[in-house]
Structure 1
Amino acid sequence: MNKLITIFVTTLLAGCSIVGEAGVESAPYKLLKADKDKETETKIEIREYQSMVLVSTSMDDDGRNSAFRRLFNYIAGDNSGQREIAMTAPVYMGNDAASGEGMKISMTAPVFMNSDVASSGGANVMSFVMPDSFTYDSTPIPNNPKVKVSEVKNYKVAAITFSWTLSDSNVKKHTNILLDYLKQNDFTVTGKAYTAAYNGPMTLPMYRKNEVLIPIQ
């Protein structure tokens, strides 16, 4: 298990179950098609994320751990109004930012990595998804200029879901399965593959939910 995932669990998903997902909101999407890879029986979905607000930062300068720390600092209050984004549900809509007391917001799964959802020019970014109750305009502004808020709409992807860890070999295996599926079914790939993590180390590896997602036309 790499250092990033260790940090990830001890913070974002500290209260997760050992046999399932943490009780946090997941980014909503419209399911366009559900299928399985014919050889491995692995679950594949064609999805459309109709609207998604992302808080993102580049991993190209200082690596994944530094990117994670910047996003963690953002949800811990390094933003306009010092608004704290809580690690567990439910959503607590509290005092106005002008009061100086902040407000608590539940974080949403998954964490996207190596994602071009919010990037330009093919940059490697890490993204947290804001809860569905937030719009682009109501999302707190980051204090750190390296952290950006963006919104994507009508974003279509193919996703393959798998268990165990996000090791390089596991990610590569499922990326190849998904690419073969897309080729066989005449889908046009429009971006590079990226990963999504839903669980932490308190969840047994065989029960973890991971995904590889590939943007499609």
Structure 2
Amino acid sequence: MWKFKHLLKQLTLISFVTFTLTACSVFGDNGVESAPYTLIKSDSTLNIELRNYDSMILVSTSMPPGERNRAFRRLFNYIAGNNDGQKEIAMTAPVFMDQKNTTKPKPAMSFVMPASFDFENTPKPTDPNVWLEKVEDYKVAAITFSGTLSDSNVQEQQALLQQWITANQLIAKGQPIMAAYNGPLTLPMFRKNELLIRVE
């Protein structure tokens, strides 16, 4: 009986520590650096911002339909040291998806390099399916929402965002880009997602 109670106490302690360590992730605080931008205009009612990303270094890989997890693993391997400097790089947010890339015009997933990196000091990928690019003066309208990045949720947010773009006399350029700020452990109600459309 004593052994059972002792084992139960140990399991309770382990569960508590595990929960404490993962609570930030579960409840939405990703605890990582976010890509900086300049806020131009904000609509708090619709959770929409007009913003400009002055400069970003992206590491990207192609993301054919149904291969989101595979694309993520390639990028994660890159920041874990699968690069020419074998350098570990901190995870940042958001993860961009469905971007029509400038160098390879097909759906892609991208990680943003930390702000301290520039194109010259960013380690080159060793995986031929991963590439680097620099994005400058990237002006977007962005809507923030919770839940999952399901087709229905994305389509609903896209309709709201496009209406706002038209109402504010902006011109959309290209297809929407999804941006995810949280990992898979985060409960859907606490997730932060965005949909971005480039504008001029």
Distance in 1, Cα, partners of 2:66 & 2:161: 29
Q: 1:15: Cα distance to partner?
A: 7.1
Q: Report the equivalent of 1:33.
A: 41
Equivalent of 1:17 in 3, 15, 25: 25
Q: How many residues of Structure 1 are paired with residues of Structure 2 in the alignment?
A: 179
Runs of 4+ in 1 over 6 A off after TM superposition: none
Equivalent of 1:42 in 42, 46, 70: 46
Q: Which is richer in helix? A: 2
Q: Gaps (5+ residues) in structure 1? A: 1-13, 86-105
Question: Secondary structure of 2:85's partner?
Answer: helix
Distance in 1, Cα, partners of 2:125 & 2:95: 18
User: Partner letter of residue 37 of structure 2?
Assistant: Y
Q: Report the equivalent of 2:57.
A: 53
Residue deviations 1:116-142 (CA, integer Å, cap 9, x gap): 3x4346410100000000001110000
Equivalent of 1:208 in 187, 191, 198: 191
Question: Secondary structure of 1:84's partner?
Answer: coil
Q: Report the equivalent of 2:88.
A: 84
Equivalent of 1:158 in 132, 141, 149: 141
Residue deviations 1:36-74 (CA, integer Å, cap 9, x gap): 4xxxx3200000000000000111388222211211111
Q: Report the equivalent of 2:69.
A: 65
Distance in 2, Cα, partners of 1:59 & 1:204: 24
With 52-61 and 172-181 compared, the bigger mean Cα shift is at: 52-61
TM-score (norm. length: structure 2)? 0.83
Q: Gaps (5+ residues) in structure 2? A: 1-21
Question: Secondary structure of 1:190's partner?
Answer: strand
Distance in 2, Cα, partners of 1:213 & 1:191: 10
TM-score (norm. length: structure 1)? 0.77
Superposed, 1:139-158 pairs within 5 Å as 139-158=122-141
User: Partner letter of residue 76 of structure 2?
Assistant: F
Identity %: 55
Compare CA radii of gyration and give the structure with the larger one. 2
Q: CA 1:191–1:119 in structure 2 vs 1: closer, same or farther (change >3 Å)?
A: same
Q: 1:84: Cα distance to partner?
A: 1.6
1:75 matched to 2:75? The reply is no
Q: 1:175: Cα distance to partner?
A: 0.8
